[in-house]
Amino acid sequence: MKKKKIVIALGGNALLRGDQEGTIEEQEKNTYDTLKNLIYLIHEGHNVVISHGNGPQVGNILMRNDAGMELYQIPQMPLDVCVADSQGGIGYMIERVLRNVLKEEGLKRDIITMVTQNVVDKNDPAFKNPVKPVGKIYNKETADKLAAEKGWIFKPTQKMENGWRRVVASPEPIEIFNVDTIGRIVEGGTIVIASGGGGIPVYIDENEHVRPLEAVIDKDKASALLAAKIKADEFYILTDVPYVYIDFRQANEKKLEFLNRADALKYMEEGKFGEGSMAPKVQACLNFVENGGGKSIITESTKLSDKAYGTKITMEYED
């Protein structure tokens, strides 16, 4: 069997379920179950990079930020530092649990977690239309006060009546720091955990200095860019459904086991995928195959080892 280079993007559901409180015990159990389902790739000798989401976790960090300021006047940390905090914490958890899984399976691999900065364009149009919700929900009075004090932008949320939540930009990733090093390390057999939460958003100023930005990069797009840059053979997105569907949860719902670029673009134009859910994942997979990747697969985290599941996305339909 050919040894492949594979990038696996763990969705939020792979680490924390929507109906859970978010305790470390819950997150470690979910992480263990997910890693058990992908360990067959290590058994087969493939070289693996793992990226991960951080939505619930970075949201909790931001709420701790708020509580610390309100109760104890502890200075709040900016969003880029919060993303870095989540990368370190989640990466540590994945690395530690994976070491235990490897031990149980009689496998030996080095594992390294990299806090990853991803470059975006500070003039990206996304900064003119921030849509990514972060942090806690406030009432209108508090949201207006924070907007005046900090320059934050708030939009109403459907999760609470009269609730307002801070929104930030979600710009396109254009470069990943240390990507060549990541490629060399994974080719040597080390499992790399990188680009967590879409990476820490930074830009290069007129003096070529690295500067932070208040933004959140889409995790799947950043993972697809990483996969393309290291010339991965396959790119996996693990989510909470076993297939991509068109007209999801409607009477005419249809699962897609195979999807080529032309049909994917047609369905995207027709609005057949959920704008805030599946459409960005399909677009990330298209980005990967359009940039030379062989195959993208979207599936449920518990179904990864069963190759009967999953939507396989390629440039052309395979024979």
Question: H/E element holding 233?
Answer: none
Q: How far is CA 247 from the centre of its chain?
A: 24
Three-class SS state of 293: coil
Strands laid side by side in the 5-10 sheet: 111-113, 191-193, 47-52, 5-10, 234-239, 295-300, 311-314, 258-260
User: Is 13 annotated in the active site?
Assistant: yes
User: Is 132 annotated in the active site?
Assistant: yes
Residues 4, 36, 122, 132: which is the catalytic one?
132
Residues 5, 221, 281, 312: which is the catalytic one?
281
From CA 87, how far away is CA 92, in angstroms rounded?
8
User: Is 219 annotated in the active site?
Assistant: yes
The strand ranges marked E within the chain are: 5-10, 47-52, 111-113, 117-119, 132-138, 153-157, 163-168, 175-176, 191-193, 200-204, 210-212, 234-239, 244-246, 254-256, 258-260, 295-300, 311-314
**Is 101 within 8 Å of 191 (Cβ atoms)?**
no
Among candidate residues 129, 105, 87, the one with its CA nearest the CA of residue 42: 105
N- to C-terminal Cα separation, the chain: 19
Residues 5, 11, 12, 53: which is the catalytic one?
12
Among candidate residues 179, 133, 124, the one with its CA nearest the CA of residue 156: 133
Residues 11, 59, 198, 219: which is the catalytic one?
219
Catalytic (active-site) positions: 12-13, 132, 219, 281
